[in-house]
Amino acid sequence: MHKKVLTIAGATASGKSALAIKLAKDFKGEIISGDSIQVYRGLDIGSGKIKKEEMEGVVHHLIDIKDPKESYSVYDFQKMGRLLIDAIERRGHLPIICGGTGLYIKALIYDYDFKEEKDFNNYEDIDDVSLHAMLKEVDPISAIKIHPHNRRRVLRALNYFEKNGSPISSNKTEKALYDALILALDMERSELYAKIDQRVDNMVKDGLLSEVEGLLKSGIAFNDQAMKGIGYREFEAYFKNEQSLEEVIQKIKSDSHNFAKRQYTWLRHQLPIEWIDIKTDYELIKERVRKWLDE
């Protein structure tokens, strides 16, 4: 019998957090954040991190667990997430994953297999095309699937083969490890974009600029992983005097739009999602979850 894991997905600013909290309160849940930026301490405003008082007493995991200088990846999320699911289960609570990072959610729920990673060869002096040709030699299937310009993926596949002696594709299965109900909030695109813009404006009002200044003052740099997040990285141009604050804000909005679009693409094609229109009455959602729990 698989463990039940409720998942709330959806694009940025779609309202996942609020829904997750409501459900957590109604079903004795604990929330596991599936977010790659909110793990970092000090990145509060720009990451859209939920405030303590907004949690309404619901336990949140995997928020503020990393220093901005540290790295974080699916591997970490998957490992910790699985331990958390077990622990929450044991307490008799319902694990609720809440996040917009499709890969994280999928890697947690399905049997994605990651191994401890030591060294990684970047082949810095080899160009994209040659690198792709090298991959074609050892793993033709991946070579067909991965575009030569997508250096990051080519490197990954190449490194995988070198370490494991088998193509990365042979490692792929998609068995669900949990009994997961995956809900995702849906709304019209233009409405989402408007919400995003409004949220960005609010971030600025809440002091996003001084948050970034503070981070920089404390020694965090734009090339640290944490600062690669939307709402942070855009400020680099501002501090280099290349862009005005206005331009930076505009860029944050447009980066967020693009990001939201990519999230939709992922969720639509990679996960068995039950889409919930944003206007759906909460009681109906609650009923749906109850029915699933009773199954």
Partner RNA sequence: GGAGAGGUAGCGAAGUGGCUAAACGCGGCUGACUGUAAAUCAGCUCCCUACGGGUUCGGCAGUUCGAAUCUGCCCCUCUCCA
Kindly state the DSSP code that residue 59 receives in the 8-state scheme.
-
The stretch among 45-53, 130-138, 176-184, 238-246 that binds RNA (CB under 7 A) is 45-53
Give every CB contact of residue 255 below 8 A, 6+ residues apart in sequence: 230, 234
Supply the DSSP string of 32-47, one letter for each residue.
EE--SSTTBTT--TTT
The stretch among 102-110, 132-140, 209-217, 277-285 that binds RNA (CB under 7 A) is 102-110
Q: What are phi and psi of 84, to 5 degrees?
A: -65, -40
Asked if residue 35 binds RNA (CB under 7 A), the reply is: yes
Among 14, 184, 182, smallest CA distance to 95 is for 182
Asked if residue 161 binds RNA (CB under 7 A), the reply is: no
Asked if residue 124 binds RNA (CB under 7 A), the reply is: no
CB of 139 to RNA, least distance (A): 12
The stretch among 85-93, 99-107, 205-213, 285-293 that binds RNA (CB under 7 A) is 99-107
Contact (Cβ atoms closer than 8 angstroms) between residue 278 and residue 187: yes
215-254: contacts with RNA (CB under 7 A): 225, 228-231, 254
Asked if residue 91 binds RNA (CB under 7 A), the reply is: no
Distance, in Å, from the CA atom of 210 to the CA atom of 195, rounded to the nearest integer, reads 23
Which of 8, 37, 50, 285 binds RNA (CB under 7 A)? It is: 37
Distance, in Å, from the CA atom of 57 to the CA atom of 71, rounded to the nearest integer, reads 29
CB of 154 to RNA, least distance (A): 9
Residue 226 CA: distances (Å) to CA of 47, 78, 103, 231: 10, 19, 18, 11
CB of 283 to RNA, least distance (A): 29
Closer CB to RNA, 7 or 38, in the complex: 38
Closer CB to RNA, 107 or 289, in the complex: 107
Kindly state the DSSP code that residue 53 receives in the 8-state scheme.
G
254-283: contacts with RNA (CB under 7 A): 254-255, 257-259, 261-266, 268-270
Kindly state the DSSP code that residue 114 receives in the 8-state scheme.
-
Distance, in Å, from the CA atom of 33 to the CA atom of 264, rounded to the nearest integer, reads 18
CB of 287 to RNA, least distance (A): 29
Asked if residue 75 binds RNA (CB under 7 A), the reply is: yes
Q: What are phi and psi of 170, to 5 degrees?
A: -70, -10
Q: Coil, strand, or helix at residue 263?
A: helix
Kindly state the DSSP code that residue 176 receives in the 8-state scheme.
B
Which of 47, 84, 185, 186 binds RNA (CB under 7 A)? It is: 47
Q: Which residues bind RNA (CB under 7 A)?
A: 12, 35-38, 46-48, 71-75, 100-104, 107, 112-117, 145, 147, 149-153, 156, 160, 168, 171-174, 189, 193, 225, 228-231, 254-255, 257-259, 261-266, 268-270
